[in-house]
Chain A
């Protein structure tokens, strides 16, 4: 999937300035793009726009050259089902069994009847859910209630949900902000190999610049809601990086 931001601007209701303004770039299949920037620079907003959770107040988002705003009903749904999202705050349903949270990745492709049947009969497609969990090393937790798992295990479930979905485009908002270094590596290499193997794309926001350089082909720096640079990972200079995080009256306003 080719995802294109065309002069995207977002202003939240009641805010006195744009969260992002005039952002244009596009992500091609097989690409792994890292978003860098201090907090409040608009990373999450851009990722939410990419996932279709936030509608731009200016400009357009295109998926395979079709404007997202122009898609309705089944077209929108099938386009949505090609985009998977991993959130920092996981967004799992704690009272469901792990298997259902994993299969929730399939909802975009399942009918309502099938998804209800799956909930009721302890899940269809058990093998696939099991396989996905096995890749993350928690195959034995298939039939455990999700809120009985540790934080790290829940993160694996959230990843399993996205892997199960097999999206063409993965949007990841700070997927490793709250985990130890070893597991951060594991998560990112998993996402990165998934993307490479299936010719999908990855748009990920990261705090850790070293990880970003290591796992991304391309880095986009955001500063006060605008693109400061958009370069192949190996060509980003340390001055450019430090300018992102330098104390900046506008960038860190409030």
Chain B
């Protein structure tokens, strides 16, 4: 499989059809066995990495568990089925939900639009130089730091320029998401067969005409489902931004956690879970109805104009709800603040004193990201096996899969920072709770992906083993896991990249790694140190990116 398609698959999180994924498994499988010859070397390397991670996270060096916190955690769990309810509170819930949605809508729309424009412009020269004004390579390079910076960091930086302004949250979502979409869209265009484009060109069509008749329609379905996947992510991001100060569900959750009022927290957490579930089902319904026999609904959603109407209406509502005023971008104040930022941020503080603080924090951050993947794999693999929907199902199995799915949904719809708040109740603040919190959240995402992998496996070997009298556990170990391991590894490595970006948020909440450092320098208004920290973080993120894609290539090629 080409590098482009494999990366595409990771990035679009297996959004596309079963058929292609089936193909992926076959090619992975053969290579996995090739890898087997050096299996022990890999195993030793993995154990070394795990040991190092454990040491960095401080396991065995100090007290980790705060026994008295369990009563608090228990109170929190008990509050889940008795959330606080009052007319006033419900009005706040409705308002906060709308605001969270509105940020997500505008942020997604802006990022998809920007991603489309720049994605088309940065499409590689294979399609006969679609790019003209700026070379695509320049755009691709410029996009790397934009997508490497977490939404929350963007918000922190932007709030210094724009002040309290709804545009902060919108741009904080749109900038990194737009940069990611740009890459994915360009890769989607490049992955289309080029013959239709060539033949149209040969018959006198211009580049753009040939693009819109020969390439864009072929990519349109994948573009749409990716845009929806981004919307799902934007809802979560919009809630996370609440912790940085943007209005909405995230902010309300944060405020109630300060008291702490657990029942009120749940009043705002449940709508967030519901919103995530809604976006989830909506996008999978749309994905499924994009193929299949046309009926009235499907015909409607295949009509580009109905998309345009829906998007315009929701954008207008969101715009009105948030009271966005783009003129504040070039207002007097913004200009003045921009000058302030320029003066205070530059140059980044790389004195030896600061580096002495940054270095261990950076190591800790890497350890958090690795540790969180280990935690999430431990949780996600059994949950994925539990929640995969297989064809030969009895009623108990279906019930089990629903339970698994619900757990995964809750794990991924509660923002990592909230998980960090909860974990800190029972673990002393530091890198370990940050790791566990990120691990729980990641387990939710990874579990869903792995469940899909399991669903698309060849299940005949497992059934054959079961028929010979093997227990379910043994049958899975012999027939399911060997098939699934390569995809599991690929997805885990991909999630490692994502987790790297997220360490910052859990770090702020649980006091570990560079996140904790960011909190300190923000409190001291040391912007030059902030910039230095962000640059270090970007460097590590880039490193992890390269490492993970090299490892994935080793696994696949």
Contacts and interface: CB of A to CB of B under 8 A. Distances in A.
Interface of A: 51-53, 77-85, 87, 89, 91-96, 100, 104-105, 107-110, 112, 115-116, 119-120, 165, 167
Nearest to B209: A107
Nearest to A50: B202
A128 to B, nearest CB: 16
Contacts of B212: 115-116, 119
A79 B196 CA distance: 19
B198 interface: yes
B204 A108 contact: yes
B205 A85 contact: no
Given A107-B209, A120-B304, A93 B218 contact: yes
A115 B304 CA distance: 16
A95 B218 contact: yes
A47 to B, nearest CB: 10
A104 B220 CA distance: 17
Interface of B: 195-196, 198-206, 208-210, 212-214, 217-218, 220-221, 304-305
Nearest to A167: B203
Contacts of A51: 199, 202
B213 A80 contact: no
A96 B199 contact: no
Contacts of A81: 203-204
A104 B200 contact: yes
Nearest to A103: B213
A130 B448 CA distance: 47
Given A53-B198, A89-B195, A84 B209 contact: no
Contacts of B218: 93-95
A116 B208 CA distance: 10
A104 B304 CA distance: 19
A100 B220 contact: no
A243 B332 CA distance: 84
B459 to A, nearest CB: 29
A107 B198 contact: no
B200 A107 contact: yes
22 contacts: A51-B202, A53-B199, A53-B202, A77-B204, A77-B206, A80-B202, A87-B199, A91-B195, A91-B196, A92-B196, A93-B218, A95-B218, A96-B217, A100-B217, A104-B203, A105-B203, A107-B209, A108-B205, A112-B208, A112-B209, A119-B212, A120-B305
- Nearest 3 A/B pairs, CB to CB: A108-B204, A81-B204, A107-B205
Contacts of A83: 202-204
B223 to A, nearest CB: 11
B203 A115 contact: no
A52 B202 contact: yes
A84 B305 CA distance: 32
B537 to A, nearest CB: 41
Nearest to B220: A95
Contacts of A112: 206, 208-209
Contacts of A107: 200, 203-206, 209-210, 213
B204 A95 contact: no
B198 A100 contact: no
A100 B212 CA distance: 11
Given A53-B201, A94-B218, 7 more contacts: A78-B204, A80-B201, A80-B203, A93-B214, A110-B209, A116-B212, A167-B203
A151 B128 CA distance: 29
Contact of A115 (B201, B202, B213, B305): B213
B204 A104 contact: no
Nearest to B213: A104
A8 B106 CA distance: 56
Contacts of A110: 209
Nearest to A105: B203
Contact of A85 (B202, B208, B221): B202
Contacts of B201: 53, 80
Contacts of B209: 107, 110, 112, 115
Given A115-B212, A116-B212, A104 B195 contact: no
A170 to B, nearest CB: 11
B221 A93 contact: no
Contacts of A95: 217-218, 220-221
Given A91-B195, A94-B218, A100 B213 contact: yes
Contacts of A116: 212
B198 A80 contact: no
Nearest to A101: B213
